[in-house]
Structure formats: C-alpha cells, structure tokens
Amino acid sequence: MLISESEDAQRSQIKSLMRELELAKEENALMEMIARHANDGLLIQDIYATIEWSNPSYARITGYSTEELRGHKPQEFLLPPENQMSKQDIEAFKYDIASDILDSFEVVRNVRKNGEFFWNQLSFAVVEYEDGRDPKVIVISRDVTEQIEREEKLKLAKQETQFRAEHDMLTGLPNRMKLNGFLSEALQNANTTDGEVGILHVDLDRFKAVNDMLGHAAGDAVLVHAADVMKAIMRPDDMVCRFGGDEFIIVCLGVSGFSYLENVAKQIISDLKKPFVWGDQKILFGSSIGIALSSEVHRDQEKLIRHADVALYEVKNNGRDGLLSYTRQVGDMVSRRTELSTSLSRAISDDQLGVVLQPQFDLSTRKVVGFESLIRWHHPQKGLLAPADFFEVAERNGRMEDIDAIAIKSALDALSHFHDVGFPSMRVSINVSAQMLNSPAYVDRLKWEADKRNLNPENIVIEVLETILIQSSDDTASRAIRALSAAGFGVELDDFGTGYSGLANLARLDIQGVKIDRSLVQDAHENHTSQVILEAVITLCRDLSLNVIAEGVECREQAEFLQGIGGSVIQGYGVARPMSLNNAVRWLRNTDMNAILTTSEESEKPELAMTAYV
C-alpha cells in the first residue's frame, strides 16, 4: 500500500514537472520573441486589450511610460479624433481569438502623447495555455511614419509627373496626350441613343498682335482667361483641351447634332469678345471655331479632329470671328481647292500662266494707245481660267507674288515685242496684287525688268485697285505708288467708283489716271442718274489732269456718250476681246480702226467671247 501510494505520488510529481517544463518552454518562446523584436514596441495584453506589460520601445513610440500604459487599453489614448471610441465600446472590447486579424497586420493612424500623428503598423499573436488560463495577446507595434510618408511622396510625385505629362502647365487644361485617350474612349462609347461626340476647334483671333504689342506675359494671361471662359461654359463631363499655341479643342459628349454645338460656339465667341482687363490694359481679342460631329467620321478620331480643323481654316480665311460646321459640302469644296492648289503650283513651275491683252482705244484719234495685260491660266483640262477662278487659292497659299512676277515678265515681253514690230509708242498696263505692291523690292524689281528690255517706264502703267489702298492701313501702298511715280512709271487707280473712298484717294495719291469701273458705264447712255455721275467724275479727273479710261464699253451708244463728255479712251468687248500677243499684233495690223463701234449692235457677251483670239 505504501509502495502504491509512493508510486502514485511519484507519478503526480512527474506530471507536475512535465507541466512546469511545458510552461517553461512557452515562457522561453515568449522571451525569444521579445528579444527578436527588441526595436519594435511590444505589448502583452489580455483578451480585453488591457496592457499587462510593454517594452521601452513602445513607450518611445507612443510617448507614454510603462507605468502610464499598464492597466489601460490603447484605444483610450492612441486613437485620432475621427476614430474615437465611446467609453462603453472600449470597455466592451474583446479580441476574437478565432478571427483572421490575429494572423495578419494592419496600419493605423495613431496619436502620440504630444499630439503628433504617426502611422502604426500592428501585428498580433496569441499565446494559449493548456492549463486553462486565458490567452495572452502579443502586439508588435512598429512606427512606419517615415516609410508611409516616403511612399506618399513617391505617389504624389508619380501623380505630378502623370499630370504634367497630360496637362498644359499654363492653363491647367488637358493637353493633346490626355485628349487622345479621352476622345478615343468617348468615340468608342458614342451611340445614337446617348448622342454623338462633338468637337469645337477654337482659335484665338488677334492673339499674335497681343503678344507683339503687350508681350508674352499678356499673351499668357489671355490664354488663361480664354481657358477659364470656356471651362465656365462647358458641362462637367465635357473636356476643354489646349491643343497648342492659341488653339483649343473642346470635346462635347452626348450631343444630338450641330445645333447644340453651334449654340455653344456662339456663346464662346460672344464671351471671348468681351474686353479682358489685365492690369491697366483692356485687351480685345476674338475667336474662330470649327465644328465637327462624330456621326460624319464613324469613330475615326483623327478624321474628326481634321474635319474640325478644316472648318476652322475656312472661318479664318473668310474673315475670322465666326464659326462653321463641317459637312460633306464643305469637305468637297476644300478638296477641290486643295486639288486646285496643287495644280496651281504645277502651273507656275510649268509655265501654264501667261497674259492676254485687251486694247485701250482713243475714240478721238481712232488709235489704240495701249493694252491691258490680263493674267490667265492655260489649264490642261479646264481650258483658259480667269483670275476669279484661282486668285483665292493663290492668296491662301502665298503664291500671288509668283503670279505677279509672271504677269510683269509676260507683259513687258509683250510691250517689247510691240516696239520691235513697229508700235514704238504702245503702252501696257499691269495689274498688281496687294502682296506685291507692299513688297519693299517691288519697284526695284519692276525697274530691273524694264531696264533689261530697254523699255521706257513711261510706257508702263501699274493699275492699283482701290481695295488695296483701303486695306493698307499703314500707308505702305501709298509709299509704293509714290516710288513708282518717282521712277517714271504710270499709276492708275483701277475700278474707280465701286463704292470706296474714291474721291479722297484722288486727292492724296500720286497717280496719273483712273479707270472708271464698268458699273458706271453700262447704262450711262440711257440712265440720267448714271449720266450725271459719270460726267461729274470725268470732269473732276480732267480738272485734276488725270487720264481717264472707261471700262466695259460694249456698244456704240456708250462710246458716243463717253466721247461727248470728254471720256475718249475706252476699253471693253465693244472694241475687242482679250487676245494673245500674236493675235494682238495681227489685230493691230488688220483692223479698220475707223469701223470700231460704228454700229449699235452690242458685242458678244463676255462669257462667250473670253477665249477668242487666244
């Protein structure tokens, strides 16, 4: 019995020793973990989060001493204002030992004792005891504020880099890169149910003048102002983009047609017209807008922008400060003009341009006193083209000076030929464009061409349109006219009486003659009002010692009336139609000058007679 009791006691002692050894192992494991995380904050909590023990690192991180922490829960003092828990919730808190949080970690925003915020990375572990004691929760706390702030700075830097790549830094608007992505997605999502995608291509008018006169700071201010105006007009889902320079593109989503886009464009034009106050300056500028709709391009992004650009180009070339929607008709017109432009460049290089000559006839002497040289294009497919058919394209493409150069050479070659074949007193009149007249080298070039052919400047007359004088606000044209007169060339004011300030020009310009426009001549022989005006003009010119040539004379009655009031030199289809140089010489030699305009029959209509004698 005693042996048995002794054995039972021994067995009990062994079991107790084994339990102590097991607990010792657990304590050793805990101590090893504590040692391993000596630089991190460590807490030992019960399952209600009450702190039973903390290490110095945790005190350093939080600012609270070990004594201040013991017996309290972190929720009492570490939570920021936005995450505060009620006293009841704190007291009721209990760890869920079975939850996943104890096998993971989290980063939370906490507050130190001194009120400073910091980022706290928390991880959790549970120590369970076999003897039935409550588990302990080990919390590892790591201050990751520097890491979080560094990552946030990198994130912000990345966002800033991305923003700069996709935005214009002056206006803050999206740039082309951002536009491409936005427009591509918009076109993919566009459908007839929700509406189409519309494009407004906006170009600021007179922006270069602002830069030139007030400087780039003023120009930048105008761009920012324009961007703000457009953003204020557009809907939140639309995009206003700076396309480059003084150009903007606006993408409008969910539009039903051109009507909405045109109304928006009108508002933009109206608002941008208002004076912009910059410092003590009131800056005035305008805008031109081309409009395109996605239904015309079948989701082709590049074509949509190109259509808006084509429409804008048309607005700019038709006087600016307006809008135009791209349609197939507009596209066809531009295509024809582009084709004509290409053909014109080829025509200039291939000598397809030349002049025809129309005689100027003195009724009193029954002699031809000169010829007006008229530029024509001998088009290989379309035949003979007059300036009205291609001058607009030439002006748009900057080819007028090339055409003027051809006109000068061809006219002077013709004059030289007239002199060589027995008409030494013959004159030739040459039309000049605004571009050529405003060129500083024009007069010297004309003199050089005349000298090269041994021609007297007195036999060369330059015809200047009144419109050129009106458009030349800086007096450039007037200076050129004075230089021409000083060099001995004749200068005549062309199309006189077409509604501009003709009389004022007569008084201030150094000219030798005028050409009365056909509109004053056509019914002068039968309309009393026209007779009075025409007679007054001719009398005034005679009193000013100016030569007078009446254009558009087509019948004997017109010629007789003009001769009766002192207008003896005439030009028109009643005398002869424009003709080639060889035919002009033949006409001079073979025509009975006394028979010209001796009947009352009108000459052939201009449109039927244009190519005769060519």
529-553 residue pLDDT tens: 888 888 888 888 888 888 999 999 9
Cβ 286 vs Cβ 269: under 8 Å: yes
Kindly tell me if the per-residue pLDDT of 354 is higher than 60.
yes
Number of domains in the chain: 3
Measured distance CA(498)–CA(506) in Å, rounded: 14
Residues 172 and 318 in one domain: yes
Kindly tell me if the per-residue pLDDT of 37 is higher than 80.
no
Mean pLDDT of 185-199: 82
Q: What angle, 0 to 180 degrees and rounded to 10, lies between the N-to-C axes of helices 476-486 and 442-452?
A: 30
Tell which wins on pLDDT, 320 or 483: 483
Kindly tell me if the per-residue pLDDT of 375 is higher than 70.
yes
Mean pLDDT of 82-108: 83
Inside any domain, residue 536 = no
End-to-end CA distance of the chain: 153
Inside any domain, residue 546 = no
From 360-369, 388-397, 496-505, the region with the lowest mean pLDDT = 496-505
Which pLDDT score is estimated for 269?
Answer: 96
Q: Starting from the edge strand earliest in sequence, which strands make up the sheet with 286-293, in order?
A: 239-244, 247-255, 196-205, 286-293, 323-325
Kindly report the CA angle at 135 between 134 and 136, in degrees rounded to 5?
Answer: 120
Paired tokens of 155: 């994130």
Tell which wins on pLDDT, 316 or 13: 316
Mean pLDDT of 501-522: 79
Kindly tell me if the per-residue pLDDT of 341 is higher than 60.
yes
Q: Phi and psi (nearest 5°) for 507?
A: -75, -30
Q: Which CATH number characterizes residue 599's domain?
A: 3.20.20.450
Residues 45 and 144 in one domain: yes
Paired tokens of 361: 């006839």
Residues 221 and 92 in one domain: no
From 204-208, 274-278, 472-476, 490-494, the region with the lowest mean pLDDT = 472-476
Q: Which CATH number characterizes residue 34's domain?
A: 3.30.450.20
408-436 residue pLDDT tens: 999 999 999 999 999 999 999 999 988 88
Find, among 422, 390, 408, the residue nearest to 450 by Cα: 408
**What domain range is 417 assigned to?**
351-431+576-614
Q: What angle, 0 to 180 degrees and rounded to 10, lies between the N-to-C axes of helices 528-543 and 556-564?
A: 50
From 188-192, 291-295, 321-325, 475-479, the region with the lowest mean pLDDT = 188-192
Cβ 109 vs Cβ 83: under 8 Å: yes
Find, among 320, 260, 337, 245, the residue nearest to 291 by Cα: 260
Measured distance CA(197)–CA(249) in Å, rounded: 13
Inside any domain, residue 534 = no
Q: Which residues sit opposite 492 in a β-bridge? A: 463, 513
User: For the chain, what is the mean pLDDT?
Assistant: 86
Inside any domain, residue 508 = no
Residues 248 and 285 in one domain: yes
> CB 291: neighbour CB atoms within 10 A?
26
Residues 100 and 205 in one domain: no
Residues 143 and 172 in one domain: no
Inside any domain, residue 161 = no
Residues 73 and 174 in one domain: no
Which pLDDT score is estimated for 103?
Answer: 64
Inside any domain, residue 249 = yes
Kindly tell me if the per-residue pLDDT of 397 is higher than 90.
no
Tell which wins on pLDDT, 188 or 191: 188
Which pLDDT score is estimated for 604?
Answer: 42
Which pLDDT score is estimated for 463?
Answer: 94
Which pLDDT score is estimated for 613?
Answer: 35
Q: Which of 326, 359, 376 is the last residue of a domain?
A: 326
Q: Which of 258, 292, 326 is the last residue of a domain?
A: 326
Mean pLDDT of 22-30: 56
Cβ 94 vs Cβ 126: under 8 Å: no
Residues 317 and 179 in one domain: yes
Q: Which of 81, 115, 148 is the last residue of a domain?
A: 148
Residue 607 pLDDT grade (very low, low, confident, very high; cuts 50, 70, 90): very low
43-62 residue pLDDT tens: 999 999 999 999 999 999 99
Find, among 40, 32, 211, 220, the residue nearest to 127 by Cα: 32
Inside any domain, residue 177 = yes
Find, among 342, 340, 292, 285, the residue nearest to 313 by Cα: 292
Kindly tell me if the per-residue pLDDT of 4 is higher than 50.
no
Tell whether the torsion through CA atoms of 589, 594, 595 and 597 is positive or negative: positive
Residues contacting 326, CB < 8 A, separation 6+: 290, 291, 292, 293, 296, 307, 308, 310, 311
Measured distance CA(91)–CA(56) in Å, rounded: 26
Which pLDDT score is estimated for 605?
Answer: 40
Q: Which CATH number characterizes residue 309's domain?
A: 3.30.70.270
- Which range has the top average pLDDT, 4-8, 129-133, 588-592? 588-592
Residue 487 pLDDT grade (very low, low, confident, very high; cuts 50, 70, 90): very high
- Which range has the top average pLDDT, 31-35, 380-384, 431-435, 486-490? 486-490
Kindly tell me if the per-residue pLDDT of 600 is higher than 90.
no
Kindly tell me if the per-residue pLDDT of 6 is higher than 60.
no
Tell which wins on pLDDT, 504 or 575: 575
Which pLDDT score is estimated for 599?
Answer: 59
Kindly tell me if the per-residue pLDDT of 606 is higher than 60.
no
Query: Would you list the DSSP string of 98-156?
Result: TSGGGGSEEEEEEE-TTS-EEEEEEEEEEE--TTSPPPEEEEEEEE-HHHHHHHHHHHH
Cβ 524 vs Cβ 530: under 8 Å: yes
Cβ 601 vs Cβ 555: under 8 Å: yes
Inside any domain, residue 175 = yes
Residues 204 and 240 in one domain: yes
Mean pLDDT of 280-304: 90
Kindly tell me if the per-residue pLDDT of 212 is higher than 50.
yes
Cβ 294 vs Cβ 190: under 8 Å: yes
Residue 13 pLDDT grade (very low, low, confident, very high; cuts 50, 70, 90): very low
Residues 356 and 268 in one domain: no
Residues 173 and 302 in one domain: yes
> CB 7: neighbour CB atoms within 10 A?
10
Measured distance CA(597)–CA(575) in Å, rounded: 7
pLDDT above 90 covers what percent of the chain? Answer: 53
Residues 184 and 295 in one domain: yes
